[in-house]
Structure 1
Amino acid sequence: MTSSQLLLEGVDLMLMGMGSVFFFLALLILCIRLMARVLLRFAPAQHVREPSAPSPVKLASQEPGPDIVAAIQLALHQHRVRRG
Protein backbone atom coordinates (compact mmCIF):
# COMPACT_ATOMS: atom_id res chain seq x y z
CA MET A 1 0.00 0.00 0.00
CA THR A 2 1.15 3.48 -0.70
CA SER A 3 1.26 6.20 1.88
CA SER A 4 -1.74 8.00 0.36
CA GLN A 5 -3.84 4.82 0.58
CA LEU A 6 -2.80 4.34 4.20
CA LEU A 7 -3.67 7.95 4.93
CA LEU A 8 -7.11 7.59 3.31
CA GLU A 9 -7.73 4.38 5.21
CA GLY A 10 -6.74 6.12 8.46
CA VAL A 11 -9.08 9.01 7.73
CA ASP A 12 -11.88 6.55 6.90
CA LEU A 13 -11.30 4.67 10.15
CA MET A 14 -11.22 7.95 12.10
CA LEU A 15 -14.50 9.11 10.57
CA MET A 16 -16.17 5.79 11.29
CA GLY A 17 -15.00 5.92 14.91
CA MET A 18 -16.06 9.52 15.43
CA GLY A 19 -19.38 8.83 13.72
CA SER A 20 -20.11 5.85 15.94
CA VAL A 21 -19.26 7.87 19.07
CA PHE A 22 -21.45 10.75 17.87
CA PHE A 23 -24.31 8.32 17.13
CA PHE A 24 -23.97 6.69 20.57
CA LEU A 25 -23.94 10.05 22.38
CA ALA A 26 -26.95 11.30 20.39
CA LEU A 27 -28.81 8.08 21.23
CA LEU A 28 -27.85 8.47 24.90
CA ILE A 29 -29.18 12.05 25.01
CA LEU A 30 -32.39 10.94 23.30
CA CYS A 31 -32.88 8.15 25.84
CA ILE A 32 -32.24 10.48 28.78
CA ARG A 33 -34.76 13.03 27.50
CA LEU A 34 -37.32 10.30 26.84
CA MET A 35 -36.84 8.89 30.34
CA ALA A 36 -37.23 12.37 31.84
CA ARG A 37 -40.53 12.83 30.04
CA VAL A 38 -41.77 9.42 31.13
CA LEU A 39 -40.83 10.11 34.74
CA LEU A 40 -42.49 13.53 34.69
CA ARG A 41 -45.66 11.98 33.37
CA PHE A 42 -45.95 8.98 35.68
CA ALA A 43 -44.08 10.02 38.82
CA PRO A 44 -46.15 11.68 41.53
CA ALA A 45 -45.44 15.34 42.07
CA GLN A 46 -43.49 16.06 45.22
CA HIS A 47 -44.43 19.12 47.17
CA VAL A 48 -41.61 21.13 48.66
CA ARG A 49 -42.35 22.58 52.08
CA GLU A 50 -41.10 26.06 52.67
CA PRO A 51 -39.85 26.74 56.17
CA SER A 52 -42.17 28.98 58.13
CA ALA A 53 -39.38 30.62 60.10
CA PRO A 54 -35.75 30.96 59.15
CA SER A 55 -33.52 28.53 60.99
CA PRO A 56 -30.90 30.03 63.27
CA VAL A 57 -27.54 30.33 61.58
CA LYS A 58 -24.35 29.79 63.53
CA LEU A 59 -22.16 32.84 63.15
CA ALA A 60 -18.61 32.37 61.95
CA SER A 61 -17.36 34.87 64.50
CA GLN A 62 -18.17 32.56 67.42
CA GLU A 63 -15.19 30.89 69.05
CA PRO A 64 -14.84 27.12 68.68
CA GLY A 65 -15.27 24.91 71.72
CA PRO A 66 -12.34 23.76 73.85
CA ASP A 67 -12.36 20.27 72.33
CA ILE A 68 -12.01 21.71 68.83
CA VAL A 69 -9.18 23.99 69.94
CA ALA A 70 -7.40 21.01 71.53
CA ALA A 71 -7.81 18.95 68.34
CA ILE A 72 -6.38 21.78 66.23
CA GLN A 73 -3.43 22.22 68.58
CA LEU A 74 -2.72 18.48 68.53
CA ALA A 75 -2.87 18.40 64.73
CA LEU A 76 -0.49 21.36 64.46
CA HIS A 77 1.91 19.75 66.91
CA GLN A 78 1.91 16.46 64.96
CA HIS A 79 2.43 18.31 61.69
CA ARG A 80 5.38 20.28 63.05
CA VAL A 81 6.97 17.16 64.54
CA ARG A 82 6.74 15.29 61.22
CA ARG A 83 8.18 18.18 59.20
CA GLY A 84 11.11 18.54 61.54
Structure 2
Amino acid sequence: MTSSQLLLEGVELMLFGMGFVFFFLALLVFAIRLMSRLIGRFAAAAPVPAVAPLPVRAASAPEPEADLLAAIQSAIHQHRARRG
Protein backbone atom coordinates (compact mmCIF):
# COMPACT_ATOMS: atom_id res chain seq x y z
CA MET A 1 0.00 0.00 0.00
CA THR A 2 1.13 3.48 -0.72
CA SER A 3 1.20 6.23 1.82
CA SER A 4 -1.71 8.04 0.17
CA GLN A 5 -3.87 4.91 0.39
CA LEU A 6 -2.97 4.51 4.06
CA LEU A 7 -3.79 8.15 4.69
CA LEU A 8 -7.17 7.81 2.95
CA GLU A 9 -7.99 4.68 4.97
CA GLY A 10 -7.01 6.50 8.16
CA VAL A 11 -9.27 9.44 7.31
CA GLU A 12 -12.09 7.05 6.45
CA LEU A 13 -11.68 5.21 9.74
CA MET A 14 -11.55 8.50 11.63
CA LEU A 15 -14.76 9.74 10.01
CA PHE A 16 -16.48 6.41 10.66
CA GLY A 17 -15.45 6.50 14.32
CA MET A 18 -16.49 10.12 14.81
CA GLY A 19 -19.83 9.43 13.10
CA PHE A 20 -20.44 6.41 15.31
CA VAL A 21 -19.67 8.40 18.47
CA PHE A 22 -21.90 11.28 17.32
CA PHE A 23 -24.75 8.86 16.58
CA PHE A 24 -24.37 7.15 19.95
CA LEU A 25 -24.35 10.47 21.87
CA ALA A 26 -27.39 11.73 19.95
CA LEU A 27 -29.19 8.47 20.75
CA LEU A 28 -28.22 8.85 24.41
CA VAL A 29 -29.59 12.42 24.56
CA PHE A 30 -32.83 11.26 22.93
CA ALA A 31 -33.19 8.37 25.41
CA ILE A 32 -32.56 10.65 28.41
CA ARG A 33 -35.15 13.17 27.23
CA LEU A 34 -37.67 10.40 26.60
CA MET A 35 -37.13 8.93 30.06
CA SER A 36 -37.44 12.37 31.64
CA ARG A 37 -40.79 12.94 29.96
CA LEU A 38 -42.05 9.49 30.91
CA ILE A 39 -41.03 9.92 34.53
CA GLY A 40 -42.59 13.39 34.65
CA ARG A 41 -45.85 12.04 33.26
CA PHE A 42 -46.22 8.86 35.31
CA ALA A 43 -44.50 9.74 38.58
CA ALA A 44 -46.69 10.90 41.40
CA ALA A 45 -46.22 14.50 42.34
CA ALA A 46 -44.19 14.80 45.52
CA PRO A 47 -46.17 16.45 48.31
CA VAL A 48 -44.93 19.88 49.26
CA PRO A 49 -43.89 19.83 52.92
CA ALA A 50 -45.56 22.40 55.08
CA VAL A 51 -43.22 25.12 56.22
CA ALA A 52 -43.01 25.15 59.99
CA PRO A 53 -42.65 28.56 61.58
CA LEU A 54 -39.20 29.26 62.89
CA PRO A 55 -38.91 29.50 66.66
CA VAL A 56 -38.60 33.04 67.93
CA ARG A 57 -35.27 33.75 69.57
CA ALA A 58 -34.81 35.91 72.58
CA ALA A 59 -33.91 39.53 71.89
CA SER A 60 -30.43 39.17 73.36
CA ALA A 61 -28.34 36.03 73.34
CA PRO A 62 -26.72 35.06 76.63
CA GLU A 63 -23.02 35.88 76.96
CA PRO A 64 -20.64 32.94 76.64
CA GLU A 65 -18.84 31.89 79.77
CA ALA A 66 -15.50 33.50 80.61
CA ASP A 67 -13.50 30.26 80.34
CA LEU A 68 -14.99 29.60 76.89
CA LEU A 69 -13.98 33.08 75.73
CA ALA A 70 -10.47 32.56 77.11
CA ALA A 71 -10.14 29.24 75.25
CA ILE A 72 -11.29 30.84 71.98
CA GLN A 73 -8.88 33.76 72.38
CA SER A 74 -6.04 31.36 73.15
CA ALA A 75 -6.79 29.27 70.06
CA ILE A 76 -6.88 32.38 67.85
CA HIS A 77 -3.59 33.59 69.32
CA GLN A 78 -1.91 30.21 68.70
CA HIS A 79 -3.21 30.09 65.14
CA ARG A 80 -1.94 33.58 64.35
CA ALA A 81 1.43 32.80 65.96
CA ARG A 82 1.88 29.74 63.73
CA ARG A 83 0.99 31.64 60.56
CA GLY A 84 3.62 34.25 61.25
- Give TM-score scaled by structure 1 length: 0.60
Instruction: Please list every run of at least 4 consecutive aligned residues from structure 1 whose deviation after the TM superposition is greater than 4 angstroms.
Output: none
Does residue 12 of the first structure (1) align with residue 12 of the second (2)? yes
State the alpha-carbon separation in 1 of the partners of residues 12 and 47 from structure 2: 53
Does residue 42 of the first structure (1) align with residue 21 of the second (2)? no
State the alpha-carbon separation in 2 of the partners of residues 43 and 13 from structure 1: 44
Gaps of 5+ in 2: 56-67, 69-84
Q: Report the Cα offset of residue 53 of structure 1.
A: 2.7
Q: What's the counterpart of residue 22 of structure 1?
A: 22
Gaps of 5+ in 1: 56-64, 66-84
- Give TM-score scaled by structure 2 length: 0.60
RMSD: 3.2
Name the SS for the 2:52 alignment partner: coil
State the alpha-carbon separation in 2 of the partners of residues 22 and 39 from structure 1: 26
1:18-48 Cα shifts (integer Å, max 9, x gaps): 1001100000000000000011111111123
State the alpha-carbon separation in 2 of the partners of residues 41 and 24 from structure 1: 26
- How many residue pairs match? The answer is 72
